[in-house]
Amino acid sequence: MGAEEKKIPNDLDRIGIDRNAPVGVFDSGIGGLTVAREIMRQTPEERIVYFGDTARVPYGSKSQDTIVRYSRQIIRFLRTKGVKAIVIACNTASAYALEIVAKESDIPIIGVVNAGARAAVSATRNGKIGVIGTEATVRSGVYTKVMQEMRPDIEVTGKACPLFVPLVEEGLWHDSVTDEMASRYLTPLKGRYIDTLVMGCTHYPLLRSTLRRLLGDEVTLVNPAYETAIELKELLKAHGLNRNPEDPLEGEKYQFYVSDLAEKFTDFATSILPDEVKETQKINIEEY
């Protein structure tokens, strides 16, 4: 098996998964909303239950044991909502927990790494790919492993960009401070002559215009959030789990839960999602 594999049960009908059930999406905080946004765009008929672990963010500086424990708790919570599939919309959790929790699950669980890696390998012309992400994601080497399994001659250069997350969460998407930090982070990558860059953290697509300006049009930017939404769409269709858009909706189409700071989350979510987020519920994730 590769470093990241999706878990797909052999007989979904046998275990009684409801095709009209929602898709669960979780992240260490608000960054995974970029994944939720792409899922909304690519599969507008699907219902979504989103959980952001805002009380325990960031995951990027935590151990694998801790990230696995957090992921198991969140999956148990999402299962109480009757989800039919789960997307780990966090690069760090995808790198450290997906392979473990997928084996424990009887519903499909996918992460964001595999889809992003596949898109980068397809896009590169010179075989030199850059990956930016949290310290944990870059340290894990998961993107390098997955991409080199696909194409052994690929040369991958990883660069941790720890300040991008707080800058995004403070809304400083177009700010001189962000420009300065981006320039510092990207200079070593430009020196490696990369022609493709994987935005290996769900916050980073919100800095796309800054990254594009600094790297130029000759570097292809890969957004794993978009690629993951496409993968989810194909997975649901292949297994007859895609929701029938003609069936009536029961309850809210999109539900949002966090472990802390619900009001702040609601404001941020409304700023980047297609529709206004009316309510975010705070839960005690440690109970799961």
List residues with catalytic annotation. 90, 201
Single-letter code of the amino acid located at 88 = I
Angle among Cα 172, 174, 175 to the nearest 5 degrees reads 70
Strand 128-133 and strand 220-222: pairing? Answer: unpaired
- CA torsion angle 154 120 138 225 (round to 10): -170
- Going by the DSSP 8-state scheme, the letter that residue 56 receives in this structure is T
Angle among Cα 7, 35, 96 to the nearest 5 degrees reads 50
C-alpha distances in Å from residue 227, one per residue of 9, 34, 36, 48, 197: 22, 11, 12, 17, 14
Cβ-count burial 164-192 (b if 16+ within 10 Å, e if not)? bbebbbeebeeeeebeebbeebbeebeee
Q: Are 257 and 281 in contact (CB under 8 A)?
A: yes
C-alpha distances in Å from residue 19, one per residue of 15, 36, 120, 245: 12, 18, 31, 11
The gap between the terminal CA atoms of the chain, to the nearest Å, is 29
- Going by the DSSP 8-state scheme, the letter that residue 7 receives in this structure is B
Phi/psi at 54 (5° precision): -70, -15
| Sheet strand arrangement including 85-88 | 109-111, 85-88, 23-27, 48-52, 254-258, 281-282
Helix (H, G, I), strand (E, B) or coil at 198: strand
